[in-house]
Amino acid sequence: MVALLNEITWWHWIVFGVLLIVIEMSTGTFFMLTLGISALLVGTLDVLFELSFKTEILLWLLFSIVSVIAWMKWFKDRTVSNSGQSNYRLDTLGTVKAEIRPHHRGKVLFDTPVLGNTEWHATAKTDIASGTRVKIVEINGQLIEVAPVELKIEN
């Protein structure tokens, strides 16, 4: 078996590389492409430098790892969409448009969009008059709980 491995020549690596690239064409994952290109590189280096089988395997592993890391780094999907994403923080401020009483809903106009909208029905644990500045305390699904903002006066 060891003698058979020592008889692997440059063209075995080229065939192996082409086979991996053909497999890649049927899967579309680009993972086999990097392994196939690595095998083609090892076959080319074997033609030029007459490498031992251990060296060929080590080079193929090294090229494969480097090419997979390079693929992940430079060719990853860079499209970022905020569609459907929350764009609020718990300290998002707003102004009460319709009075809020405990266990009842009022309306709040937020300074920045919360889940894509600036005007929301909101609840609170205390009475909050219209025109009061509030901040988000908690969001449970489509229900926003707010609390009055305490103004800090500095001397």
Let me know whether 12 and 57 are in one domain.
yes
Of 39, 74, 109, which closes a domain? 74
Three-class SS of residue 131?
coil
The pLDDT tens digits for 33-57 are 999 999 999 999 999 999 999 999 9
Q: Which of 45, 74, 103 is the last residue of a domain?
A: 74
Q: Are residues 99 and 68 in the same domain?
A: no
154: in domain: no
Same domain? For 32 and 65 the reply is yes
* 11 is a domain residue: yes
Handedness of CA 50, 51, 57, 62 (dihedral sign): negative
pLDDT in the model for residue 46: 94
Burial class, 134, CB count within 10 angstroms (exposed 0-12 / middle 13-18 / buried 19+): buried
Length of the chain, please? 155
Domain count, the chain: 2
Q: Taking a C-beta distance cutoff of 8 angstroms, is the pair 110, 120 a contact?
A: yes
Tell me whether residue 83 is in a domain.
no
Running DSSP on this structure, what letter comes out for residue 4?
H
Task: Judge whether 155 lies within some domain.
Answer: no
Within this chain, do residues 55 and 100 fall inside the same structural domain, yes or no?
no
User: Is residue 61 situated within a structural domain?
Assistant: yes
In a domain, 80, yes or no: no
- Residue-wise pLDDT tens for the chain (155 aa)? 566 667 888 999 999 999 999 999 988 778 899 999 999 999 999 999 999 999 999 999 999 999 989 888 887 666 655 544 455 567 789 999 999 998 889 999 988 887 778 898 999 999 999 999 999 888 877 788 999 998 666 65
Q: What is the pLDDT of residue 85?
A: 47
pLDDT of 16 reads: 95
C-beta of residue 106 within 8 angstroms of C-beta of residue 96: yes
The boundaries of the domain holding residue 120 are 93-148
Who contacts 58 (Cβ-Cβ below 8 Å, separation ≥6)?
A: none
Predicted local confidence at residue 74, as pLDDT:
82
pLDDT of res. 154? 62
The pTM of this model reads 0.50
Question: Do 69 and 14 sit in the same domain of this protein?
Answer: yes
Residue 138's pLDDT is 86
CA triple 73-77-83, angle to 5 deg: 140
Q: What is the pLDDT of residue 73?
A: 84
